[in-house]
């Protein structure tokens, strides 16, 4: 990662048993360097795995979502990149929620803005097809199982971008490859 620029932060969050959660965050000193890392390192092998390098969409402690993305150096958190995709990274037990029936245009930012009503979010991702189109579902990792339960209780069947969304705990081993049934359908287009 250092080949792409000056690294200002590296964070590999541990799970509850102290093991890696399967992802890390690398923050560069400029947006250009972060972009170079995405271009250069996305899809490369790290150990025995191919990694995904993308712009970090989750709020950080230095740039909370409620602040409108202002805070942490360089105009928000667009200078940080997450290694691995959310669906491949294990979440702490009881913290990951599946969000279904999303409109096609729903982004990670929309998910965070809506779902953070239930509690602090560690990360989120909208599942996408290889061409970039939404699959109509996403995953949200909450800081605690209590926040995930609060999301299920208070946000299940709530409206997000004109759609009544489904929220449930993600099934063990689910991840992006197996959302646990349908969910897909997505937005039916928008409108």
Q: pLDDT (tens digit, 9 = 90+) per residue, 133-149?
A: 889 999 999 999 999 99
Q: Please give the average per-residue pLDDT across 56-68, as a whole number.
A: 44
Residue 97 falls in which region: left (phi positive, over 0), alpha (psi -120 to 50) or beta: beta
| pTM for this model (two decimals) | 0.49
Instruction: Establish how many alpha carbons lie within 13 A of residue 73's alpha carbon, considering only the half-sphere containing its beta carbon.
Output: 11
* C-alpha separations of 145 from 51, 75, 87, 174 in Å: 27, 31, 18, 17
Residue 72 has pLDDT above 80, yes or no: no
Q: What percent of the chain has pLDDT over 70?
A: 69
Q: pLDDT (tens digit, 9 = 90+) per residue, 95-134?
A: 999 999 999 999 898 999 999 999 999 889 999 888 888 8
């Amino acid at each position: 990662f250092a080949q792409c620029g000056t690294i200002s932060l590296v964070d590999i969050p541990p799970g509850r048993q102290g093991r890696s959660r399967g992802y890390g965050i690398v923050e560069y000193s400029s947006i250009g360097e972060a972009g170079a890392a995405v271009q250069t390192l996305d899809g490369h092998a790290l150990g025995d795995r191919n990694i995904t390098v993308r712009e970090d969409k989750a709020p950080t402690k230095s740039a909370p979502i409620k602040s409108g993305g202002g805070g942490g150096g360089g105009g928000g958190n667009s200078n940080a990149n997450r290694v691995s995709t959310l669906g491949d990274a294990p979440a702490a037990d009881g913290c990951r929620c599946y969000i279904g029936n999303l409109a096609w245009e729903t982004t990670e930012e929309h998910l965070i803005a809506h779902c953070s009503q239930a509690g602090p979010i560690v990360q989120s991702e909208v599942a996408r097809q290889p061409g970039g189109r939404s699959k109509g579902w996403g995953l949200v990792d909450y800081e605690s199982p209590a926040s995930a339960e609060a999301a299920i209780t208070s946000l299940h069947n709530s409206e997000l971008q004109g759609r009544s969304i489904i929220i449930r705990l993600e099934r063990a081993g689910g991840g992006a490859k197996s959302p646990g049934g349908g969910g897909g359908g997505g937005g039916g287009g928008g409108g």
